Structure 1
Amino acid sequence: MLAKVARMYHEHGLRQPEIAARLHLSQSRVSRMLKQATEVGIVRTVVVPPLGVHVDLEDAIQERYGLTDVVIVEVPGEGDAALLAALGRAGGSYLEATLTGSDRIGISSWSATLLSTVDSMQPRSVRSAVEVVQLIGGVGSANVQVQATHLADRLAQVTGADVKFLPTPGVVASTQIRDALLADPAIADVASRWDTLTVGLVGVGSLEPSPLLESSGNVAPRADRDALRAVGAVGDVCLRFFDADGGLVDAGLHDRVVGIGSEALRRIPRIVAIAGGARKLTAIRAAAAGGWIHVLVTDLATGRALLEPPPAG
């Protein structure tokens, strides 16, 4: 009888009152029998992911690195442009699905991946965030400053949030200049909001930037990168550099960064990193292993590589 009731409900699509009438049972008994059919294994729920969805891989990465969520996207094509577009769409979809109306979002400086992400998002009729706050000053040329401002402004537009800009360079010449900038009332007001953030939206930087990225000026100066490489740095989040195990390393740069510190960055409850590609694999692995990020949106090839042992040495 359990099997008969289960077939009528799950395979033939009959409603419980119809089943009760046909079998001369009470509706409450039909309901109990459907529950019992599940308990004894007559009815089993099977989730079949659609093509292009890699739930097992996402779960394996999440468990390996202790992340709270992982999103894997296939890249339909080759080259940086295809990768950028795919990551942007996946990142935008993730944010649209998970942001709440009370979120306060910190966003890092100019990033092509983050720009692709926010450009893929559509404005909603209901506000999905309260505030967007820049985590670090624009890095490099004046054009990069404009791009950093556009990034934060665009995210604020699509989420309906207020925006707070950090109108400074990301790296300055000395600690004294950094301290003077952070003492400015307008900049201090932005910095005071870092402790209230609920979400961080970041890229993952590599010590080996692409030629296009390096020409934009949106990286740490070459001399600083050489010094960081000498002490084992492999990548960064918001110009806070770490080694292959994810441990914080410094070569005199961190005290010249106008932006959120490593401790405040780690206190953000949910840091979402959108990054992929072979060039950034080592940095992404280290960021995940070191607890710099909580959520990773990446491509299929990078996801698979994250489960492989890192190269010796």
Structure 2
Amino acid sequence: METREPLGRVARLHYQHGMTHQEIGELLGFSRVKVTRMLAEARRAGIVEIHIHGEATPFGELEAELTGAFGLAGAWIAPSFSDPERSLASVGMAGAECLTALAPTVRTVAVGLSSSVAAIVAHLRPQEQLPELGFVPLAGSWGGASRGMSPHELVIGFGAAFGARTYHLPAPILAKTADAATAFAADPGVRQTLRLAAGAELLIAGVGAVEAGSGMLADTLTERERGQLTKRGAVGDISARFFDSVGSAVESTVDERVVGMSLRALARIPRRVAVGFGDQKITALRAALRTGLMNHLVTDVDTARTLLRTTRKGN
């Protein structure tokens, strides 16, 4: 990784002096590919910030069609890429635009962990600090290896970007037994955090699927647990709370072990943003949107088009 000084030098030559990547490379003795890479790194590091003055979005017509088809209050659509990591970063950027637009209008944001929601943090560049705003997790944390993510770290990242308050839920997302989950839920710190989450005006969370390989939670469950959920009609989850095709909670041995807000409680939060993309998430996203369980969406172009196509067919 380059230090900030050479990154800043290359950025000034390109953005202020209008030099091409090739011209910069010849001037500084770099290859054109290296200059391109340095400019991308300068943006990621916050050395370069691009402000676009205008309300038009790249996919305004598609967003309007999506909001109309599902009765949404808002939609943010990102480009799709063949590389999953690029698609994840793209959706994270769209999520940052969504959160930057909505967070200043509320006092408390409830946050559900997913890889797509976690991708938002790196792209947040809010224009103002909001010390009265609070970010609170919907559920507990993952034990053991967690792919570098936890709800606590996620809300801290959001809080740092907005200069906001953050809260911790001191419990696992899935307790070992139902009795253990009940004990965790009785803890005063857990109760206080869940009360704050229940009073949030904005929810931003990933929507997961049931199939193995579709996300952190699904990969944590046993084959027997996934079979039980499927048999009972589960098509997706929000922070480990599974729902069926009509948006109703699915009772199961998994649900009994969750330390977090109930599906009914999170559905009472006025603004509910679903963040997710990919073929494995289509059924879950369609159910969450069609039933009103979530009323805003952040996704990519391919997922948006598939949602619309399958909805027109009545699937």
Same fold, judged at TM 0.5 (above): yes
- Residue 84 of structure 1: aligned partner: 88
Report the alpha carbon displacement of residue 49 of structure 1 after superposing the two structures with TM: 8.6
- Residue 246 of structure 2: aligned partner: 245
Cα RMSD for the two superposed structures: 2.6
- Residue 99 of structure 1: aligned partner: 103
> How far apart, in 2, do the equivalents of 1:126 and 1:227 lie?
46
Report the alpha carbon displacement of residue 304 of structure 1 after superposing the two structures with TM: 0.9
Question: What SS does the corresponding residue of 1:202 show, helix, strand or coil?
Answer: strand
Matches within 5 A, 1:167-182: 167-182=170-185
Matches within 5 A, 1:1-313: 53-75=58-80, 77-100=81-104, 102-109=106-113, 111-122=114-125, 124-127=127-130, 130-143=133-146, 147-210=150-213, 213-214=215-216, 219-309=220-310
Report the alpha carbon displacement of residue 223 of structure 1 after superposing the two structures with TM: 3.0
Contact kept in structure 1, 2:209 and 2:237, CA below 8 Å = yes
Contact kept in structure 2, 1:273 and 1:297, CA below 8 Å = yes
Give deviations 1:10-29, integer Å, cap 9, x for gaps.
Answer: xxxxxxxxxxxxxxxxxxxx
> How far apart, in 1, do the equivalents of 2:61 and 2:85 lie?
27
Contact kept in structure 2, 1:233 and 1:244, CA below 8 Å = yes
Question: What SS does the corresponding residue of 1:267 show, helix, strand or coil?
Answer: coil
Report the alpha carbon displacement of residue 220 of structure 1 after superposing the two structures with TM: 3.9
Contact kept in structure 2, 1:206 and 1:234, CA below 8 Å = yes
> How far apart, in 2, do the equivalents of 1:289 and 1:81 lie?
28
Report the alpha carbon displacement of residue 221 of structure 1 after superposing the two structures with TM: 4.3
Moved more, 89-98 or 249-258: 249-258
Question: What SS does the corresponding residue of 1:193 show, helix, strand or coil?
Answer: helix
Task: Work out the percentage of aligned pairs sharing the same amino acid.
Answer: 29
Moved more, 52-61 or 174-183: 52-61
> How far apart, in 1, do the equivalents of 2:142 and 2:219 lie?
5
Question: What SS does the corresponding residue of 1:250 show, helix, strand or coil?
Answer: coil
Question: What SS does the corresponding residue of 1:309 show, helix, strand or coil?
Answer: helix
> How far apart, in 2, do the equivalents of 1:165 and 1:226 lie?
32
Contact kept in structure 1, 2:142 and 2:150, CA below 8 Å = no
Letter in 2 for 1:227: Q
Contact kept in structure 2, 1:135 and 1:259, CA below 8 Å = yes
Contact kept in structure 2, 1:202 and 1:238, CA below 8 Å = yes
> How far apart, in 1, do the equivalents of 2:94 and 2:123 lie?
9
Question: What SS does the corresponding residue of 2:119 show, helix, strand or coil?
Answer: helix
> How far apart, in 2, do the equivalents of 1:178 and 1:293 lie?
26
> How far apart, in 2, do the equivalents of 1:278 and 1:170 lie?
26
Letter in 1 for 2:208: G
Contact kept in structure 1, 2:209 and 2:218, CA below 8 Å = no
Structure 2 segments unaligned to the other structure (5+ residues):
1-53
> How far apart, in 2, do the equivalents of 1:108 and 1:200 lie?
8
Larger Rg: 1
Give deviations 1:148-200, integer Å, cap 9, x for gaps.
Answer: 32111101111211111112111113322111111111112112212320111
> How far apart, in 1, do the equivalents of 2:221 and 2:132 lie?
30
Moved more, 142-151 or 172-181: 142-151
> How far apart, in 1, do the equivalents of 2:122 and 2:132 lie?
16
Report the alpha carbon displacement of residue 147 of structure 1 after superposing the two structures with TM: 2.9
User: Are residues 59 and 309 of structure 1, via their aligned partners in 2, closer, same or farther at CA, if it must alter by over 3 Å?
Assistant: same
User: Are residues 125 and 194 of structure 1, via their aligned partners in 2, closer, same or farther at CA, if it must alter by over 3 Å?
Assistant: closer
The alignment covers a number of residue pairs equal to 261
